[in-house]
Each structure stands twice: as structure tokens, then as C-alpha cells.
Structure 1
Amino acid sequence: MESYLAYIFVSSFVSLITADSVNVRLVNGDSRCAGRVEVLHDGQWGTVCDDSWDMTDAAVVCREMSCGEALQAPRYSYFGPGSGKIWMDEVRCKGSESTLKDCRSSGWGEHYSFCADHEYDAGVRCSETINYGRFTRLADGPHLCSGRLEVLYGNTWYAVCDAAFDQQDAEVVCRELDCGAPVQVLGAAAFGKGDAQMWSQEIQCRGNHPLIRLCPTLKYIECSQDNNVGLICSGHNDLRLVNGPDICSGRVERQFLNEWGTVCDACWDMRAASVLCRQLNCD
């Protein structure tokens, strides 16, 4: 009888723990392993203020979500501002916690006044999100390796401010696009204004990042499309795809003596298309 009562007590205790557990999700990123950190508490999803937010905290989230190692712990609503409750602030994980709820914080719903408008929502990018697809492009240039720099976050393309971009950033972009080394960084919308939104944070690459999207960001900056940055890399391709939904699909064109022309589809097949896709670094 005593063992049966003990079983009931333990089962009830486990049920209480499960019911009180906090789920974590990453919102507004390009995959389930990148985005704004949100936690479920009292039946409602809410955000985490980035005060004291660092890589140790991000590592706990990545591990909890089975998303590999932490690559970034973005702040200042890097993945866009959330809404509703701000559940956690002053998060200070030790790194050994299995869930974010086990980390020390100010308490549920307790936060400083400057966190009230979601301007400082914390984010995470984990290693499982690395995808060497086309998330960066040089638009409106004479070839694929020169043009206005645009970066894809979520489903939106963003132009980069010239005041937030330097030679080390350029090295990352040219390498990511398989375009050799940077030749020239041009400001003042040298390749046109375009219609992309402006990215409002300063990028701080150290030259060794695999993707411009994985570089740290620092502070907000004021910038308009009149000041987007352009880039010319040393390598370029004499082939391009035009009039498609992105730079990896469209009508095939080839450049000869500075003039672009089309390719006849006689004998065109999947083998030729595969060679072209590899040449354009489009998988």
C-alpha cells in the first residue's frame, strides 16, 4: 500500500513539473534554429529582454531546441520586435542548464522599464541554421560579382548602409558569393537605390565569417536608400539568370564583348542546367 501511495505521489509530482515546463521557440528567422527568443509561460508566449544576454544564454537555447551550437546571441530586436509579454530579463545562464527556464533571471514578467516596447528583444542563431544557399546578392551590377549589396533575412531583402560596411565585411561577401576578393567598396547608392528595405544595424565582420548574416552587429544607425553600399569583387561570371524570382532562376544569358545575349534551347537539357547551376554557385 505504501509503495502504491508513493507511486501516486511521484506520478503527481512529475505531472506538475511537466505542466509547469516552459517551451522555447525562435521566431522570425530563416529556420527553426534562428530567430527571436520566445518562451511560453502561463499559457502565453512572450519575449526575452536582451539585458545581459550573451553566448552562454544562447548556447542553452540551442541545446534545448536540439539546434547544435550557438553561433550568435543577437540583441536589439535583430529578428524584429515581438509583442505581448516580456517574460524574462537579466537572464544569466551558467551554461550547464538544460532549459532556459532554469537560468537565473529577474523573475517572470519582471523587467526594467526600457524593455517595455520590445526594442531590446533577444535573439539566437544556432549552428544547425548554416545554409549556403543564396542569402546574399549583389544587385543591379554588370555581373554577379558587383552591385548593390542586399541580404535576405526571413522573407525580406535588406540593403546595407555604407556607413556600416568596411573592407573586412567586403571580404566575407565576396568569399560567400565565390567572387574572389573585394576590389572596391562604393557608397552613396552607386548601383542605384533599389526597393529593398534598409538594414539599420552596423555589421562587424572580422573577415573570417562564412556568411555576412553570421557577422556580429553592433548599434542602430540612421540610413536611407541614398546611402546603400555597393561592392565590386575580383571574380565575375559571364553567365547570369534574369527575370526569375531570384538570382538562381530565370532566363539564361551570356556576356560577350560587354554585350549580353540569350542561349538557344536546342539540345538544352538537365545536364547543361546542372553545369550552369554549379557555375553560378546555385546548388
Structure 2
Amino acid sequence: MLQIKYTMNLIVLIILLIRTVKVVSKNVSENERALRAEFVQKLLNKQNKFEGKIKLVGGSSKYEGNVYIYHAGRWGAVCDDNWDDEAAAVVCRSFNLSGIATVGSQYGEATEKFWLDDVICQGDEPSLSKCVFNRWGSTDCDKDEVAGVICMDERQLPTNRKDQDSVQLVYKEEKLRDVIDISMSKLRLTGGKNIREGRVEIFLNGTWGSICPDGWTVYEASAVCRHLGLGYAEQALQTYVFGFSNIILSGVSCEGNESTLFDCKHKQRGNVKCPGDIGHTAAVVCTHFLADLVLDMTVIERSAHLQDVMMYQLQCAMEENCLSRTAYEVQKLIPDWQYETRRLLRFTASSLNAGNAEFRPYLPKHLWQWHLCHMHYHSMEVFATFDVLDYNGLRVAEGHKASFCLEDNTCMNGVQKQYSCKNYGDQGISVNCSDVYMYNIDCQWVDVTDVGPGDYHFKVAVNPHARVAEQNYHNNAALCNLRLTSTYALVYGCRHERP
């Protein structure tokens, strides 16, 4: 009874408070309203000022620590998936320093939500937010997977011989075959349930040892499976489930098309430093059956063209963040923004599955996203990326397509279509079928309104982060020449490369 009475009194008090606020608000003078509006605007400007800012947390100085980025009014962590020295260079440049990457929450577990995952940088971007990554807040990372950096001035590097050697172990990358006797070196998988899986061990200087999993990706795993004649890499694992042995090799880095692991680069061997969880080693699962997407370069060259479109026709695309930042500034500043135009570089992208297994999205069906504008589910957040680059490789414009659905649009003779985006159907790309995104589909473009006339590179990539395993990744991207004028765009000279 007392509880009910207390609750009723609380409700009455809240109602009286609301009425009081309303009365006070009604009596506010125009000058007071203007002051309040100015105060709110200052708060908003402060948020915009910090947008994309970086801070380092947990280090012994302000120049090292876990990386946090400011977005939408709050700080968030950065996941260490695909985190490397190029990304660290972008972060440390804000301090006018050089830097190296750290992973595995080296400076403590995440204290905020993750904002960025699968960050891919060239190293020359003006800020971390200009690198390629999954959409803001989209991540599958745990709190012990925070990316970090150590920033330092190159002029302050140690000069005595002992310290200089240790620094070279961190920075210098060399191909294995250039520094070891490959006739006396071997590779094997151990600890697995069958010969196609297990912990990767390498025989160096008369002893077997494991490989540090720091930076271990499907590209390195592909070289291992090819080296052992076991086909292709289905999974690249950083795990303890296949057992543990002394780690004698770290910093392994492959392009993904090497015939042996000995063609890959490394940073340290012998007595090595391996960050991350104790007991975790590099492991692989190999298979002879995988998809293989091949991006059709001819279709891109033939279909690319410019189109000027009024913004009232692009409202659905704007909801999915498919235009460049200035479009949203126009929306805020110009009352009749709907009648402003954007210049779009439109093109068709066709991806043929030339492998011997179906290409399926990595997210389970219950995690697919419903897109109201397109009226169907999208199964992959980042299936393709579109970038306009200058001749120094600096990104000057990029596509902002939020996510993608996968389906069989066209198939070779005798092949039956089985995947469709309609009616919550299964999604994927069958063997010898193509997923085709036509140039007239929303967001199948790059907003080049702010790009001046001139010669550029145009890069289109599918499965850019290798989230789905494939036989070959060096046919997933098309790097083309792009000539932009005031009246037309010409895309030509495309060639295949890795995303």
C-alpha cells in the first residue's frame, strides 16, 4: 500500500514539474530564446569539431596506447582486425610522428564500444576516418581486440649497435627465402583432426616451431595451403585449439598469390616477440573447394558514365549515406536543397563465380539487414568498394554503399539460378553465375561532384576484406584509368589486382 502511495506521489510530482517547465518556456523572451539557441549551436559545433579525432589510451605517454576515435558525440575503440603499420602511420601522423601497430588490446581492454572494424589504410590518408572500414559501429570484435599504436620520431631511434639490431627486427621485412636455407626448411600442419587443418609449424635451424598469429590473415593461410599442396585456405585462425609449441617466426606477410610460404616476408625469427593471447598460434584449415569471384573489367569500362541528378531523386540514397559529405552540408545550409544537383559516376559491376563452390555471405541469415528503400534484405555490409584515386594513390572520392544483397542475376548455359534477394530468400552466387549490380541501381556510383577535371585512377573491388574465403584474391579488384571532364567520364585500361 505504501509502495502504491509513493508511486502515485512521484507521478504527480513529475506532472507538476512538466507543467512548470512548459509555463516557464512560454514566458521566455525572444532574446532568451536566441541565447539558448546559440548555446545549443555551440554544443553542436563542438561535436562537429571533434568528429574523427583520435586519442591514445593506456600508454606510458600520450604518443602510445589503444586507439579511440570520436564519432556521433562519443568515443569508440578500433578493432585490430586487419590493423597494420599503414593504419598506425595514419594515426601517428596527427602527432607528426612515425608509428607501428599493436594488436590484442596491448594497452588494456576496450572501455568504450567499437566504432571501427576491418580498417584498411594505404598509409597516406589525412585521417583514420578516410580509410576503408565497415560502416560505423558494425563490428564483431571482443573487448580484448583493441588496435593500438606506438608513435615515435625517427630521429630518436637508438644508435648503438645492440639497440639498432632490435629496431631492425621490428621494422625490416625480408622474404624468408632470402635469409634461410630453404633446402633444409620444412612446413607442416599439426594438431588437427585431419591432414587439412592444424597449427602451422616451420622447421628452421634444426628445430620445429610455431608462427606468431599477429597479423595472420587468409592471405598468409593461402600461401601455407598452396605450399603443402592442400588446395586453398578456407580459414585463417589465431587459436590454441590445435596445441602450442615454441614460436620461432613472427610478422609473416603474404600477398596471397605466393606458391610457398618461403616467398612471403617476415619480421623476426628465432627468439621472437609475439603480442596477443598466450598459447595462440597461427593455424589454417585448407580445402579443395572454394568460390572464386572474378570482376568483369569490360563491363565497368563500357558502362561508366556521368549523370547529374537533382537531390530530391536521391533521398533514399542519402538515408544510406551514399553521397559525399558535402551533399549533407548542402541539405543543412540551403533551404531548397532538393533542387541542387550531384554529379555521379555511374557504372555496372558484374562478379562471376568461377570457382568450384558457392559464394555465400559470412553473416547468418538472422543478422541480415532489412533496407526499407530497397525493400529487401542485405546480407553483406561490405561486398564492394568504389574509389577514385589520384596518381599518388590518395583517395579523392569513394562510394558509400551501405550494404549488398547477393543473387544469381545471370548464369551460363545449363546452370540453374538458385539465389534471389526477393521474399527473404537465400542469398549467394552459384558456380558459373554472376551477381550484377546495374548502373541504374541506387548507390551504384561514386559521387564526384567535388572532384575537378583531370586524370585519375578508378578502383572497384569485391569481397575487399576477404571476409569470405576464395581460391584467388588477385582478380577481385579492377584498377582502371579515369579521365574526368566537365561533360563526360572515360574509364579505360582496367587491370586485375588484389583489393
Q: Settle same-fold status: TM greater than 0.5.
A: no
Whichever of the two has the greater Rg, that structure is 2
| TM-score, reference length from structure 1 | 0.40
- Higher RCO, 1 or 2 (CA under 8 Å, sep at least 6)? 1
| TM-score, reference length from structure 2 | 0.24
